[in-house]
């Protein structure tokens, strides 16, 4: 099984090297090339992957390491005829659009409807994972966790007070605000500020 997998991988790399002439399909760099499977790809073949260099890969995977100027390379690669390259170019431009020039490039870019849907699917995923909810100790909270209240909380719009020490099970996370979680106290669904809870 493993051999077969290896073989497929090598085949894919050969195809990608041919297509890209052994250059990073985003910035043209010839060093440290590797296969990058574009997330949310509808294809399960080399169509859904691109060949990129270590620099591009590191910055794609670690938003805090992004150097906007490196991505001026998209000025050229956004015109690639390869859908997977177009998708990554679009996503990076979108991530950097606050810089100004990426927005100008985005405005010039034309993507087929199908490719636009693919590009945007990746974006929503980023958005959902971009917010990190943390409890009063900085511990990361996830949907389904249980927390305990660390002080008495007055519930807005009612006379109810949720007592310190109350356990709230199976919380859900607010996807717009990383300070808010939701859970049931005394049978009532309430919004709780993460500063006032501790994960259990």
Footprint (CB under 5 A) of Zn ion, residues 28-47: 29
Residue placing its CB nearer to Zn ion in the complex, 35 or 150: 35
Q: How many residues of this chain interact with Zn ion, rule: CB under 5 A?
A: 6
Should residue 87 be labelled a site residue for Zn ion when binding is judged by CB under 5 A?
Answer: no
Distance CA 57, CA 1 (A): 28
CB of 158 to Zn ion, least distance (A): 55
Should residue 24 be labelled a site residue for Zn ion when binding is judged by CB under 5 A?
Answer: yes
Q: Record the tokens describing residue 101, joined without a space.
A: 């020039």
Scanning 10-18, 20-28, 32-40, 77-85 for contacts with Zn ion by CB under 5 A, the matching segment is 20-28
Scanning 21-29, 76-84, 108-116, 138-146 for contacts with Zn ion by CB under 5 A, the matching segment is 21-29
Indicate which single residue of 56, 74, 92, 171 sits in contact with Zn ion (rule: CB under 5 A). 56
CB of 88 to Zn ion, least distance (A): 10
Residue placing its CB nearer to Zn ion in the complex, 56 or 88: 56
CB of 50 to Zn ion, least distance (A): 10
User: What sign results for the dihedral spanned by CA atoms 39, 80, 50, 98?
Assistant: negative
Point out which residues bind Zn ion (CB under 5 A). Answer: 24, 26-27, 29, 53, 56
């Amino acid at each position: 099984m493993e051999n077969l997998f290896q073989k497929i991988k090598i085949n894919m790399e050969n195809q990608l090297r041919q297509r890209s002439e052994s250059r990073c399909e985003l910035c043209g760099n010839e060093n440290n090339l590797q296969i990058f499977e574009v997330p949310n790809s509808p294809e399960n073949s080399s169509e859904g992957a691109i060949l990129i260099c270590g620099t591009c890969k590191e910055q794609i995977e670690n938003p805090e390491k992004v150097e906007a100027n490196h991505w001026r390379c998209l000025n050229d690669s956004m015109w690639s005829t390869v859908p997977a390259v177009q998708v990554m170019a679009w996503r990076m431009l979108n991530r950097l659009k606050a810089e100004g020039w990426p927005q100008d490039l985005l405005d010039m870019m034309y993507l087929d409807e199908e490719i636009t849907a693919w590009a945007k699917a990746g974006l929503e995923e980023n958005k959902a994972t971009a917010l990190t909810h943390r409890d009063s100790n900085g511990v990361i909270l996830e949907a389904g966790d249980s927390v305990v209240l660390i002080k008495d909380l007055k519930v807005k719009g009612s006379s109810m007070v949720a007592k310190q020490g109350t356990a709230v099970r199976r919380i859900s996370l607010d996807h717009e605000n990383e300070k808010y979680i939701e859970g049931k106290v005394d049978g009532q669904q309430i919004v709780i500020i993460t500063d006032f809870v501790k994960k259990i």
